[in-house]
Structure 1
Amino acid sequence: MSKLNRIQMVLIGILLFIVLTACGLMDLYSEISGDEQESVEEKVQATLTAIESEKGVDPTQAPSPTEALPTVTQTTQATLASSGFIKGSLSYPSEFLPPQRVVAFDVNDFDIYYLTEVQSGSSYQLEVLPGSYYVLAYLINPSQLGAGPDFFAAYSQTVLCGLQAGCDDHSLVPVEVQPGEKMMNIDPIDWYLPPGVDAGWPSDPLKEETGSISGDLGYPSEYIPPMRVVAFDVNSTGYYYVDTLRNQGSYQIDRLPAGTYLVLAFIREEGPDISSGYSQFVICGMTVDCSDHSLVDVIVYPGEVTENVDPVDFYAPPGEADWPEDPTQ
Protein backbone atom coordinates (compact mmCIF):
# COMPACT_ATOMS: atom_id res chain seq x y z
CA MET A 1 0.00 0.00 0.00
CA SER A 2 1.39 3.32 -0.96
CA LYS A 3 1.84 6.19 1.45
CA LEU A 4 -1.05 8.10 -0.21
CA ASN A 5 -3.44 5.26 0.36
CA ARG A 6 -2.59 5.07 3.99
CA ILE A 7 -3.25 8.75 4.43
CA GLN A 8 -6.67 8.37 2.75
CA MET A 9 -7.58 5.47 5.03
CA VAL A 10 -6.64 7.52 8.11
CA LEU A 11 -8.75 10.45 6.92
CA ILE A 12 -11.70 8.16 6.22
CA GLY A 13 -11.39 6.67 9.70
CA ILE A 14 -11.27 10.09 11.31
CA LEU A 15 -14.35 11.20 9.31
CA LEU A 16 -16.21 8.03 10.23
CA PHE A 17 -15.39 8.59 13.90
CA ILE A 18 -16.69 12.14 13.75
CA VAL A 19 -19.91 11.01 12.07
CA LEU A 20 -20.52 8.21 14.55
CA THR A 21 -19.78 10.50 17.47
CA ALA A 22 -22.18 13.14 16.16
CA CYS A 23 -24.97 10.58 15.73
CA GLY A 24 -24.50 9.34 19.25
CA LEU A 25 -24.68 12.84 20.64
CA MET A 26 -27.91 13.53 18.69
CA ASP A 27 -29.55 10.39 20.03
CA LEU A 28 -28.47 11.29 23.50
CA TYR A 29 -29.88 14.84 23.06
CA SER A 30 -33.11 13.48 21.74
CA GLU A 31 -33.46 11.11 24.62
CA ILE A 32 -32.67 13.83 27.14
CA SER A 33 -35.00 16.34 25.44
CA GLY A 34 -37.81 13.80 25.26
CA ASP A 35 -37.45 13.03 28.92
CA GLU A 36 -37.53 16.72 29.83
CA GLN A 37 -40.55 17.42 27.57
CA GLU A 38 -42.39 14.43 29.02
CA SER A 39 -41.55 15.64 32.51
CA VAL A 40 -42.93 19.15 31.81
CA GLU A 41 -46.10 17.77 30.26
CA GLU A 42 -46.60 15.45 33.19
CA LYS A 43 -46.16 18.37 35.62
CA VAL A 44 -48.64 20.58 33.75
CA GLN A 45 -51.19 17.76 33.53
CA ALA A 46 -50.76 17.01 37.22
CA THR A 47 -51.32 20.70 38.10
CA LEU A 48 -54.48 20.89 36.00
CA THR A 49 -55.76 17.71 37.54
CA ALA A 50 -55.21 19.08 41.05
CA ILE A 51 -57.05 22.32 40.19
CA GLU A 52 -60.02 20.50 38.71
CA SER A 53 -60.11 18.15 41.69
CA GLU A 54 -60.42 21.14 44.05
CA LYS A 55 -63.42 22.33 42.02
CA GLY A 56 -65.02 18.89 42.16
CA VAL A 57 -64.89 18.48 38.38
CA ASP A 58 -63.71 15.41 36.56
CA PRO A 59 -61.15 16.77 34.04
CA THR A 60 -61.57 13.70 31.86
CA GLN A 61 -65.23 14.47 31.11
CA ALA A 62 -66.46 17.40 29.03
CA PRO A 63 -69.47 19.34 30.46
CA SER A 64 -72.82 18.42 29.00
CA PRO A 65 -74.74 21.32 27.36
CA THR A 66 -78.02 20.05 28.83
CA GLU A 67 -76.72 20.62 32.35
CA ALA A 68 -76.16 24.40 31.86
CA LEU A 69 -77.96 26.71 34.31
CA PRO A 70 -80.82 28.87 32.94
CA THR A 71 -79.81 32.40 32.00
CA VAL A 72 -81.27 35.55 33.54
CA THR A 73 -83.11 36.20 30.30
CA GLN A 74 -84.73 32.77 30.34
CA THR A 75 -85.81 33.24 33.98
CA THR A 76 -87.27 36.68 33.27
CA GLN A 77 -89.16 35.40 30.26
CA ALA A 78 -90.58 32.56 32.33
CA THR A 79 -91.76 35.04 35.01
CA LEU A 80 -93.39 37.30 32.45
CA ALA A 81 -95.06 34.36 30.78
CA SER A 82 -96.70 33.37 34.09
CA SER A 83 -98.06 36.89 34.72
CA GLY A 84 -101.05 38.66 33.26
CA PHE A 85 -102.06 42.29 32.80
CA ILE A 86 -105.06 44.43 33.71
CA LYS A 87 -105.53 47.60 31.68
CA GLY A 88 -108.18 50.28 31.66
CA SER A 89 -109.18 53.94 31.74
CA LEU A 90 -109.67 56.38 34.62
CA SER A 91 -112.14 59.21 35.16
CA TYR A 92 -113.34 61.68 37.78
CA PRO A 93 -116.66 63.53 38.07
CA SER A 94 -115.14 66.94 37.51
CA GLU A 95 -113.43 68.97 34.82
CA PHE A 96 -109.99 67.66 35.77
CA LEU A 97 -108.43 64.27 36.48
CA PRO A 98 -106.61 64.10 39.85
CA PRO A 99 -103.84 61.62 40.70
CA GLN A 100 -105.26 58.20 41.50
CA ARG A 101 -104.09 54.95 43.03
CA VAL A 102 -105.39 51.87 41.19
CA VAL A 103 -105.51 48.66 43.22
CA ALA A 104 -106.34 45.10 42.17
CA PHE A 105 -107.47 43.05 45.21
CA ASP A 106 -107.47 39.27 45.33
CA VAL A 107 -111.18 38.45 45.59
CA ASN A 108 -110.49 35.86 48.31
CA ASP A 109 -108.07 37.91 50.41
CA PHE A 110 -108.06 41.72 50.38
CA ASP A 111 -104.66 41.68 52.09
CA ILE A 112 -103.24 40.48 48.75
CA TYR A 113 -103.22 43.24 46.16
CA TYR A 114 -101.29 44.93 43.35
CA LEU A 115 -101.27 48.68 42.83
CA THR A 116 -100.00 51.47 40.65
CA GLU A 117 -100.18 55.25 41.02
CA VAL A 118 -101.18 57.42 38.08
CA GLN A 119 -100.03 61.00 38.64
CA SER A 120 -101.21 62.17 35.22
CA GLY A 121 -103.02 60.60 32.31
CA SER A 122 -106.27 58.70 31.93
CA SER A 123 -105.10 55.08 31.71
CA TYR A 124 -103.33 52.51 33.86
CA GLN A 125 -101.75 49.06 33.66
CA LEU A 126 -101.19 46.46 36.37
CA GLU A 127 -99.06 43.32 36.10
CA VAL A 128 -100.53 40.59 38.29
CA LEU A 129 -100.23 36.87 38.87
CA PRO A 130 -103.01 34.67 37.51
CA GLY A 131 -106.13 34.90 39.63
CA SER A 132 -109.40 36.72 40.21
CA TYR A 133 -109.36 40.41 41.18
CA TYR A 134 -111.53 43.39 42.10
CA VAL A 135 -110.24 46.70 40.73
CA LEU A 136 -110.75 50.06 42.46
CA ALA A 137 -109.37 53.59 42.10
CA TYR A 138 -108.61 55.90 45.05
CA LEU A 139 -107.75 59.59 45.21
CA ILE A 140 -104.16 59.94 46.36
CA ASN A 141 -104.82 63.30 48.09
CA PRO A 142 -108.56 63.51 48.83
CA SER A 143 -108.17 66.21 51.51
CA GLN A 144 -106.59 68.58 48.97
CA LEU A 145 -109.63 68.14 46.76
CA GLY A 146 -112.16 68.51 49.56
CA ALA A 147 -113.48 65.04 48.77
CA GLY A 148 -114.60 62.64 51.44
CA PRO A 149 -112.25 59.82 52.49
CA ASP A 150 -114.88 57.27 51.46
CA PHE A 151 -115.18 58.74 47.97
CA PHE A 152 -113.54 56.34 45.52
CA ALA A 153 -114.40 54.41 42.39
CA ALA A 154 -114.67 50.78 41.30
CA TYR A 155 -115.06 48.48 38.34
CA SER A 156 -118.62 47.43 39.09
CA GLN A 157 -121.87 46.28 37.55
CA THR A 158 -122.78 49.96 37.19
CA VAL A 159 -119.84 50.37 34.80
CA LEU A 160 -120.96 47.37 32.75
CA CYS A 161 -124.48 48.84 32.75
CA GLY A 162 -123.17 52.02 31.15
CA LEU A 163 -123.30 54.43 34.12
CA GLN A 164 -126.80 55.42 33.11
CA ALA A 165 -129.91 56.23 35.10
CA GLY A 166 -131.27 53.03 36.52
CA CYS A 167 -127.83 51.40 36.85
CA ASP A 168 -128.07 50.88 40.59
CA ASP A 169 -126.05 47.70 41.05
CA HIS A 170 -122.70 48.76 42.49
CA SER A 171 -121.42 45.27 43.29
CA LEU A 172 -117.84 44.61 42.25
CA VAL A 173 -117.08 42.65 39.09
CA PRO A 174 -114.36 39.96 39.42
CA VAL A 175 -111.65 40.09 36.74
CA GLU A 176 -110.21 36.70 35.82
CA VAL A 177 -106.57 36.87 34.69
CA GLN A 178 -104.86 33.93 32.97
CA PRO A 179 -101.07 33.52 32.42
CA GLY A 180 -99.87 35.84 29.66
CA GLU A 181 -103.36 37.31 29.19
CA LYS A 182 -104.15 41.03 28.92
CA MET A 183 -107.51 42.03 30.33
CA MET A 184 -108.56 45.23 28.57
CA ASN A 185 -111.21 47.89 29.32
CA ILE A 186 -111.25 47.24 33.07
CA ASP A 187 -112.35 50.79 33.96
CA PRO A 188 -112.77 51.60 37.70
CA ILE A 189 -115.00 54.63 37.05
CA ASP A 190 -118.06 54.02 39.24
CA TRP A 191 -117.84 57.10 41.50
CA TYR A 192 -121.54 56.98 42.30
CA LEU A 193 -121.95 54.63 45.25
CA PRO A 194 -124.56 56.38 47.48
CA PRO A 195 -123.25 57.57 50.88
CA GLY A 196 -123.82 55.05 53.62
CA VAL A 197 -124.38 52.15 51.20
CA ASP A 198 -122.15 49.14 51.84
CA ALA A 199 -121.33 47.44 48.53
CA GLY A 200 -118.38 45.50 49.92
CA TRP A 201 -115.78 47.86 48.49
CA PRO A 202 -112.40 47.61 50.29
CA SER A 203 -110.73 50.78 51.51
CA ASP A 204 -107.44 52.14 50.23
CA PRO A 205 -104.82 49.70 51.61
CA LEU A 206 -102.16 52.41 51.92
CA LYS A 207 -104.24 54.69 54.13
CA GLU A 208 -104.57 54.46 57.89
CA GLU A 209 -108.07 53.59 58.99
CA THR A 210 -108.61 56.36 61.55
CA GLY A 211 -108.11 60.09 61.99
CA SER A 212 -108.80 62.82 64.55
CA ILE A 213 -110.81 66.01 65.16
CA SER A 214 -109.49 68.84 67.30
CA GLY A 215 -110.57 72.36 68.20
CA ASP A 216 -111.09 75.02 70.86
CA LEU A 217 -113.78 75.23 73.52
CA GLY A 218 -115.58 78.21 74.99
CA TYR A 219 -118.50 79.25 77.21
CA PRO A 220 -120.37 82.53 77.66
CA SER A 221 -119.08 83.05 81.20
CA GLU A 222 -115.85 83.66 83.09
CA TYR A 223 -115.02 79.95 83.11
CA ILE A 224 -115.41 76.84 80.92
CA PRO A 225 -117.34 74.01 82.58
CA PRO A 226 -116.46 70.34 82.08
CA MET A 227 -117.80 69.20 78.71
CA ARG A 228 -118.46 66.10 76.70
CA VAL A 229 -117.52 66.70 73.05
CA VAL A 230 -119.32 64.30 70.72
CA ALA A 231 -118.68 63.54 67.04
CA PHE A 232 -121.78 62.09 65.35
CA ASP A 233 -121.29 59.95 62.22
CA VAL A 234 -123.67 61.44 59.65
CA ASN A 235 -124.02 58.11 57.80
CA SER A 236 -124.89 55.96 60.80
CA THR A 237 -126.03 56.09 64.38
CA GLY A 238 -122.44 55.85 65.59
CA TYR A 239 -120.81 58.49 67.74
CA TYR A 240 -117.49 59.10 69.51
CA TYR A 241 -116.75 61.43 72.39
CA VAL A 242 -114.16 62.76 74.77
CA ASP A 243 -114.63 64.39 78.21
CA THR A 244 -112.85 67.60 79.18
CA LEU A 245 -112.06 69.18 82.56
CA ARG A 246 -113.06 72.53 84.03
CA ASN A 247 -111.43 75.44 82.14
CA GLN A 248 -109.96 73.12 79.54
CA GLY A 249 -109.79 75.25 76.43
CA SER A 250 -109.26 72.59 73.75
CA TYR A 251 -110.08 68.98 72.88
CA GLN A 252 -109.14 66.22 70.47
CA ILE A 253 -111.07 63.08 69.56
CA ASP A 254 -108.77 60.35 68.26
CA ARG A 255 -109.27 56.99 66.54
CA LEU A 256 -112.21 58.19 64.47
CA PRO A 257 -112.99 56.06 61.44
CA ALA A 258 -112.58 58.04 58.26
CA GLY A 259 -115.88 59.70 57.39
CA THR A 260 -118.10 62.73 57.96
CA TYR A 261 -119.19 63.98 61.38
CA LEU A 262 -121.23 66.63 63.22
CA VAL A 263 -119.58 67.97 66.38
CA LEU A 264 -121.35 69.22 69.50
CA ALA A 265 -120.28 69.94 73.08
CA PHE A 266 -122.57 69.13 76.04
CA ILE A 267 -122.21 70.57 79.53
CA ARG A 268 -121.66 67.82 82.08
CA GLU A 269 -121.67 67.61 85.86
CA GLU A 270 -122.48 71.28 86.39
CA GLY A 271 -124.23 74.19 84.73
CA PRO A 272 -127.39 74.32 82.61
CA ASP A 273 -128.48 71.51 80.32
CA ILE A 274 -127.43 73.16 77.10
CA SER A 275 -125.20 72.29 74.18
CA SER A 276 -123.04 74.10 71.66
CA GLY A 277 -122.23 73.14 68.13
CA TYR A 278 -119.74 73.62 65.33
CA SER A 279 -122.07 75.46 62.96
CA GLN A 280 -122.23 77.96 60.13
CA PHE A 281 -122.66 80.58 62.85
CA VAL A 282 -119.13 79.78 64.09
CA ILE A 283 -117.65 79.92 60.59
CA CYS A 284 -119.43 83.23 59.97
CA GLY A 285 -117.68 84.77 62.99
CA MET A 286 -120.58 84.79 65.49
CA THR A 287 -121.49 88.42 64.76
CA VAL A 288 -124.91 90.09 64.59
CA ASP A 289 -124.88 89.46 60.85
CA CYS A 290 -124.67 85.69 61.34
CA SER A 291 -127.94 83.83 61.63
CA ASP A 292 -127.33 80.32 60.21
CA HIS A 293 -127.00 77.79 63.02
CA SER A 294 -126.96 74.64 60.88
CA LEU A 295 -124.22 72.21 61.79
CA VAL A 296 -121.18 71.88 59.52
CA ASP A 297 -120.04 68.54 58.09
CA VAL A 298 -116.56 67.71 59.39
CA ILE A 299 -114.56 65.35 57.19
CA VAL A 300 -112.06 63.04 58.87
CA TYR A 301 -109.28 61.67 56.66
CA PRO A 302 -107.23 58.58 57.50
CA GLY A 303 -104.02 59.45 59.30
CA GLU A 304 -104.87 63.17 59.52
CA VAL A 305 -106.14 65.60 62.18
CA THR A 306 -109.02 67.86 61.12
CA GLU A 307 -108.28 71.03 63.09
CA ASN A 308 -110.14 74.21 64.11
CA VAL A 309 -113.44 72.45 64.69
CA ASP A 310 -114.71 74.72 67.48
CA PRO A 311 -118.15 73.79 68.92
CA VAL A 312 -118.82 77.18 70.49
CA ASP A 313 -122.23 78.12 69.07
CA PHE A 314 -124.35 78.50 72.24
CA TYR A 315 -126.67 80.97 70.57
CA ALA A 316 -129.07 78.92 68.45
CA PRO A 317 -132.68 79.98 69.29
CA PRO A 318 -134.60 77.19 71.08
CA GLY A 319 -136.43 74.95 68.64
CA GLU A 320 -134.76 76.52 65.59
CA ALA A 321 -131.75 74.24 65.30
CA ASP A 322 -132.41 70.52 64.90
CA TRP A 323 -129.34 69.33 66.75
CA PRO A 324 -128.92 65.81 68.14
CA GLU A 325 -129.10 65.32 71.90
CA ASP A 326 -126.39 63.91 74.13
CA PRO A 327 -126.39 60.18 73.24
CA THR A 328 -124.69 59.23 76.50
CA GLN A 329 -127.56 60.45 78.72
Structure 2
Amino acid sequence: MINLKKYLYVIIGVIFGTVVIVLISYKPTPKAIQKLPSSPVPTNEVTNMGIIEGSMGFPSEVIPEDVIVCAENQETKKEYCTEERLDSIKYTYRVGYKLEVPEGEYLVYEKMKKGNYRAYYTEFVTCGFTADCTSHEPIIVSVAANEKVDEIDPQDWYNQLTPAP
Protein backbone atom coordinates (compact mmCIF):
# COMPACT_ATOMS: atom_id res chain seq x y z
CA MET A 1 0.00 0.00 0.00
CA ILE A 2 1.37 3.38 -1.00
CA ASN A 3 1.30 6.19 1.55
CA LEU A 4 -0.27 8.88 -0.60
CA LYS A 5 0.64 11.70 1.79
CA LYS A 6 4.22 11.59 0.49
CA TYR A 7 3.35 12.10 -3.16
CA LEU A 8 2.44 15.09 -5.27
CA TYR A 9 -0.24 14.41 -7.83
CA VAL A 10 0.21 15.79 -11.29
CA ILE A 11 -2.37 15.23 -13.94
CA ILE A 12 -0.55 15.13 -17.23
CA GLY A 13 -3.57 15.00 -19.42
CA VAL A 14 -5.78 12.70 -21.30
CA ILE A 15 -4.18 10.36 -23.81
CA PHE A 16 -6.54 8.45 -26.05
CA GLY A 17 -9.40 8.93 -23.64
CA THR A 18 -7.42 7.82 -20.59
CA VAL A 19 -6.52 10.18 -17.77
CA VAL A 20 -2.79 9.94 -16.96
CA ILE A 21 -1.83 10.72 -13.36
CA VAL A 22 1.82 10.83 -12.33
CA LEU A 23 2.83 10.46 -8.69
CA ILE A 24 5.94 12.42 -7.78
CA SER A 25 7.57 11.50 -4.49
CA TYR A 26 8.70 14.32 -2.22
CA LYS A 27 10.08 14.72 1.26
CA PRO A 28 9.26 17.72 3.37
CA THR A 29 12.18 19.99 4.20
CA PRO A 30 13.45 18.95 7.63
CA LYS A 31 13.38 21.44 10.43
CA ALA A 32 16.73 22.82 11.45
CA ILE A 33 18.52 20.58 13.94
CA GLN A 34 20.81 22.26 16.40
CA LYS A 35 24.31 20.80 16.15
CA LEU A 36 25.78 19.94 19.52
CA PRO A 37 29.51 20.31 20.13
CA SER A 38 31.37 17.05 19.60
CA SER A 39 33.52 15.43 22.25
CA PRO A 40 36.00 12.56 21.71
CA VAL A 41 35.09 11.12 25.14
CA PRO A 42 31.87 11.23 27.10
CA THR A 43 31.57 14.51 28.94
CA ASN A 44 31.08 12.81 32.32
CA GLU A 45 34.57 11.25 32.26
CA VAL A 46 37.69 12.89 33.63
CA THR A 47 40.08 13.50 30.74
CA ASN A 48 43.28 14.02 32.71
CA MET A 49 43.75 10.32 33.52
CA GLY A 50 46.63 8.10 32.45
CA ILE A 51 47.65 4.48 33.07
CA ILE A 52 50.63 2.90 34.81
CA GLU A 53 51.13 -0.78 33.97
CA GLY A 54 53.72 -3.39 34.80
CA SER A 55 54.67 -6.74 36.30
CA MET A 56 54.32 -7.76 39.91
CA GLY A 57 56.97 -9.73 41.74
CA PHE A 58 57.94 -11.09 45.13
CA PRO A 59 61.11 -12.78 46.43
CA SER A 60 59.55 -16.25 46.75
CA GLU A 61 57.93 -18.88 44.55
CA VAL A 62 54.54 -17.14 44.64
CA ILE A 63 53.27 -13.61 45.06
CA PRO A 64 51.20 -13.53 48.27
CA GLU A 65 47.52 -12.71 47.78
CA ASP A 66 47.73 -9.68 50.08
CA VAL A 67 50.33 -7.87 47.93
CA ILE A 68 48.86 -4.79 46.22
CA VAL A 69 50.34 -2.19 43.86
CA CYS A 70 50.14 1.52 44.64
CA ALA A 71 51.26 4.81 43.13
CA GLU A 72 51.78 7.88 45.29
CA ASN A 73 51.35 11.27 43.65
CA GLN A 74 54.43 13.32 44.50
CA GLU A 75 52.57 16.62 44.64
CA THR A 76 49.40 15.68 46.51
CA LYS A 77 50.75 12.59 48.34
CA LYS A 78 47.48 10.83 47.43
CA GLU A 79 47.84 7.05 47.09
CA TYR A 80 46.15 5.08 44.28
CA CYS A 81 46.12 1.28 44.74
CA THR A 82 44.84 -1.84 43.01
CA GLU A 83 44.35 -5.38 44.24
CA GLU A 84 43.47 -6.64 40.75
CA ARG A 85 46.00 -9.01 39.20
CA LEU A 86 46.21 -9.36 35.44
CA ASP A 87 47.19 -12.75 34.00
CA SER A 88 49.15 -12.54 30.74
CA ILE A 89 52.39 -13.86 29.27
CA LYS A 90 53.50 -10.27 28.74
CA TYR A 91 54.07 -9.92 32.50
CA THR A 92 56.98 -11.38 34.45
CA TYR A 93 55.66 -14.49 36.25
CA ARG A 94 52.39 -13.93 34.29
CA VAL A 95 51.16 -11.49 36.95
CA GLY A 96 50.64 -7.81 36.21
CA TYR A 97 48.71 -4.75 37.31
CA LYS A 98 47.17 -1.65 35.79
CA LEU A 99 46.52 1.60 37.67
CA GLU A 100 44.48 4.52 36.34
CA VAL A 101 45.76 7.76 37.87
CA PRO A 102 45.47 11.50 37.21
CA GLU A 103 48.35 12.97 35.24
CA GLY A 104 51.32 13.72 37.45
CA GLU A 105 54.51 12.27 38.90
CA TYR A 106 54.39 9.09 40.97
CA LEU A 107 56.44 6.68 43.04
CA VAL A 108 55.15 3.17 42.29
CA TYR A 109 55.47 0.34 44.79
CA GLU A 110 54.10 -2.99 45.95
CA LYS A 111 53.18 -3.52 49.57
CA MET A 112 51.38 -5.96 51.81
CA LYS A 113 47.87 -4.79 52.71
CA LYS A 114 48.94 -4.71 56.34
CA GLY A 115 52.36 -3.29 57.02
CA ASN A 116 54.57 -0.44 55.91
CA TYR A 117 57.24 -2.24 53.87
CA ARG A 118 57.29 -1.05 50.25
CA ALA A 119 59.00 -2.57 47.22
CA TYR A 120 59.52 0.38 44.87
CA TYR A 121 60.17 0.63 41.15
CA THR A 122 63.87 1.56 41.48
CA GLU A 123 67.17 1.80 39.63
CA PHE A 124 67.93 -1.68 41.02
CA VAL A 125 64.98 -3.03 38.99
CA THR A 126 65.99 -1.28 35.75
CA CYS A 127 69.62 -2.41 36.25
CA GLY A 128 68.61 -6.07 36.34
CA PHE A 129 68.66 -7.06 40.04
CA THR A 130 72.38 -7.96 40.00
CA ALA A 131 75.10 -7.42 42.60
CA ASP A 132 76.57 -4.74 40.31
CA CYS A 133 73.39 -2.72 40.77
CA THR A 134 74.04 -0.73 43.91
CA SER A 135 71.36 1.97 43.72
CA HIS A 136 67.92 1.35 45.19
CA GLU A 137 66.78 4.90 44.43
CA PRO A 138 63.04 5.00 43.58
CA ILE A 139 62.31 6.24 40.06
CA ILE A 140 59.70 8.96 39.60
CA VAL A 141 57.20 7.89 36.93
CA SER A 142 55.65 10.71 34.87
CA VAL A 143 52.10 10.09 33.67
CA ALA A 144 50.50 12.26 30.98
CA ALA A 145 46.77 12.53 30.31
CA ASN A 146 45.37 9.82 28.03
CA GLU A 147 48.73 8.01 27.91
CA LYS A 148 49.98 4.66 29.21
CA VAL A 149 53.37 4.13 30.87
CA ASP A 150 54.29 0.46 30.88
CA GLU A 151 57.01 -1.87 32.14
CA ILE A 152 56.89 -0.15 35.53
CA ASP A 153 57.79 -3.15 37.69
CA PRO A 154 57.81 -2.30 41.43
CA GLN A 155 59.83 -5.33 42.53
CA ASP A 156 62.71 -4.00 44.66
CA TRP A 157 61.96 -5.89 47.86
CA TYR A 158 65.67 -5.45 48.72
CA ASN A 159 65.54 -1.64 48.99
CA GLN A 160 65.87 -1.51 52.76
CA LEU A 161 68.74 -2.52 54.99
CA THR A 162 68.44 -5.85 56.72
CA PRO A 163 68.56 -5.33 60.48
CA ALA A 164 71.72 -6.64 62.15
CA PRO A 165 71.21 -9.75 64.37
Pairwise TM-score range, normalised by the shorter structure: 0.5 to 0.7
2: distance between equivalents of 1:63 and 1:115?
49
Residues 98 and 120 of structure 1 are in contact (CA less than 8 Å); yes or no, is this contact kept in structure 2? no
Asked whether the equivalents of residues 83 and 127 of structure 1 are also in contact (C-alpha less than 8 Å), the reply is yes
More strand by share: 2
Query: Cα offset for 1:192?
Result: 0.6
Q: Deviations over 1:191-239 (max 9, x none)?
A: 112336xxxxxxxxxxxxxxxxxxxxxxxxxxxxxxxxxxxxx67xxxx
Residues 38-94 of structure 1: per-residue CA shift (max 9 Å, x gap): xxxxxxxxxxxxxxxxxxxxxxxx88624x5989x6214x53x43110000001111
1:283-319: per-residue Cα shift (whole Å, max 9, x none)? xxxxxxxxxxxxxx9xxxxxxxxxxxxxxxxxxxxxx
Q: Is the 8 A contact 2:55 2:96 kept in 1?
A: yes
Equivalent position amino acid for 1:91 in 2: G
Determine if the alignment matches structure 1 residue 171 to structure 2 residue 144.
Answer: no
- Separation of aligned partners in 2, 1:115 and 1:150: 14
Aligned mates of 1:87, 1:94 — CA distance in 2: 22
Q: Structure 1 residues 119, 85: closer, same or farther in 2, change over 3 A?
A: closer
Please, which of 58, 65, 76 is the counterpart of residue 109 of structure 1?
Answer: 76
- In structure 2, what is the Cα distance between the partners aligned to 1:113 and 1:151? 15
Kept after mapping to 2: 8 A contact 1:161/1:167:
yes
Q: Which amino acid aligns with 1:84?
A: G
Could you tell me how far apart the structure 1 residues matched to 2:145 and 2:32 are? 35
Q: CA RMSD in A?
A: 2.9
4+ residue segments displaced more than 2 Å:
68-71, 118-121, 149-152
State the shift of 1:130 in Å.
0.9
CA distance in 2, matches of 1:164, 1:82: 37
Equivalences for 1:192-231 in 2 at 5 Å? Answer: 192-195=158-161
Return the alpha-carbon distance in structure 1 between the equivalents of residues 83 and 117 of structure 2. 17
Deviation at 1:160, TM superposition (A): 1.1
Provide the secondary structure at the position in 1 that maps to 2:79. Answer: strand
- Runs (5+) with no aligned partner, structure 2: 1-30, 88-94
8 A contact 2:85–2:97 mirrored in 1: no
Q: What is the aligned length?
A: 126
1:137 to 105, 110, 114: 110
Q: Which one has a larger percent helix, Structure 1 or Structure 2?
A: 1
Displacement of 1:150 in angstroms is 4.7
Q: Hey, what's the Cα distance between the residues in 1 that align with 2:116 and 2:130? A: 22
Q: Which amino acid aligns with 1:108?
A: E
1:140 CA drift (Å): 2.6
TM-score, normalization: structure 2?
Answer: 0.64
**In the alignment, which of 85, 91, 96 is matched to residue 62 of structure 2?**
96
Is the 1:88–1:185 Cα contact (8 Å) retained in structure 2?
yes
**Following TM superposition, by how much is the alpha carbon of 1:164 offset from its aligned partner in structure 2, in angstroms?**
0.7
Query: Matched residues in 1 for 2:100 and 2:54: separation?
Result: 12
Residues 118 and 74 of structure 1: CA distance in aligned 2, closer, same or farther (over 3 Å) = closer
Q: Which amino acid aligns with 1:130?
A: E
Tell me how far apart the structure 2 counterparts of residues 152 and 127 of structure 1 sit (CA, whole Å).
20
With CA pairs under 8 Å and 6+ residues apart, which has the higher RCO, 1 or 2? Answer: 2
- How far is 1:120 from its partner? 7.5
Provide the C-alpha distance between the structure 1 equivalents of 2:98 and 2:54, rounded to a whole number of angstroms: 7
